[in-house]
Structure 1
Amino acid sequence: MRSTLLGVLATGAFALGAATAAQAQQSGAATQPIFDTGKNEYEAHCAVCHGARGEGNGPYAPYLTSAVPNLTTLTKRNGGVFPVVRVYETIDGRQRVPAHGPTDMPIWGPRYSAEIGEGLYDDIRVNREAYTRARVLLLTEYIYRLQAQ
């Protein structure tokens, strides 16, 4: 079950990234999306520690007890492959992965889930888990776009 879920997540994130890259190549800079949800999530929740460009130099980084990772080198440090599942699980944080070591980073899965409250959002019934996964995937895809070339 877990491996199937991870495969679906990896495929979904890859497809989303590929679609974004394809759209960017086809449309050019003049017609980029006005509202970039992944970027907005990053700027609202991650840039304070990781920096605007993901290099680990955010304004809050000097006050932390451990070094903030440079998110732009994840692919390079993983043999040229973006570690989709590891990034997703780190952001989500609800399922601890002992091999990834301890983390001082906030876990966003429970926070995103709590934002939905009782499952209602603007009078539309929302699946709490689907909402949480979508936000984590959007953020994961944006971090993919931050990778150094």
Structure 2
Amino acid sequence: MAPIRFIPLFSVLAVSACVFAQVGEKLPSGAEDFADYCSACHGEGGKGDGEMASTLAKKPADLTGLSDRNKGTFPTTQVMAKIWGYTGGKNGDAVMPNFGPLLESDLVPYDGGDGIMTPTPLRLVQIAEHLKTLQAK
């Protein structure tokens, strides 16, 4: 259950999301952003077999096994850190590109699995939620 101090934050963000949606600007879905920003390397199904994968020095991760590699639990916090760009390696030499437009979306409260509601760009949340649907059954 969310602590009481997050209820006002959630309410404001929920209302702002409704207002944003009413302006008429349609945001891409997580699947659409995945197709636009991720599938060239990770492939349409997230298996690491995108058209650009063979041109990279390191093969892109198979995103369909994230839960399996984490004892059956989707590692949301780690996935968000990777997408958001916090895990660029010791010298900032990450293969993952910067997803600037995704970071510019409205912030929504999101629990990455640690029980803490954190303001997170909506489009990153949508990609993370889409990745959950790609997990091998």
> CA separation of 1:60/1:40 partners in 2, compared to 1, >3 Å: closer, same or farther?
same
1:135 paired with 2:126, answer no
Q: Tell me the CA shift for residue 96 of structure 1.
A: 4.0
* Corresponding residue of 1:42: 34
Aligned equivalent of 2:98, options 102, 107, 115? 107
**Structure 1 portions without partners, runs of 5+:** 1-7, 9-34, 117-127
1:55 paired with 2:47, answer yes
Q: Does the Cα contact within 8 Å between 1:90 and 1:107 map onto a contact in 2?
A: no
TM-score (norm 2): 0.63
Q: Does the Cα contact within 8 Å between 1:53 and 1:146 map onto a contact in 2?
A: yes
> CA separation of 1:64/1:97 partners in 2, compared to 1, >3 Å: closer, same or farther?
closer
Q: Does the Cα contact within 8 Å between 1:39 and 1:139 map onto a contact in 2?
A: yes
Q: Tell me the CA shift for residue 111 of structure 1.
A: 3.9
Aligned residues: 100
- List structure 1 runs of 4+ shifted beyond 6 angstroms: none
> CA separation of 1:38/1:129 partners in 2, compared to 1, >3 Å: closer, same or farther?
closer
Once superposed, what is the RMSD of the aligned Cα atoms? Answer: 2.8
TM-score (norm 1): 0.58
Q: Tell me the CA shift for residue 66 of structure 1.
A: 0.6
* Corresponding residue of 2:136: 148
| CA distance in structure 1 between the partners assigned to 2:29 and 2:102 by the alignment | 14
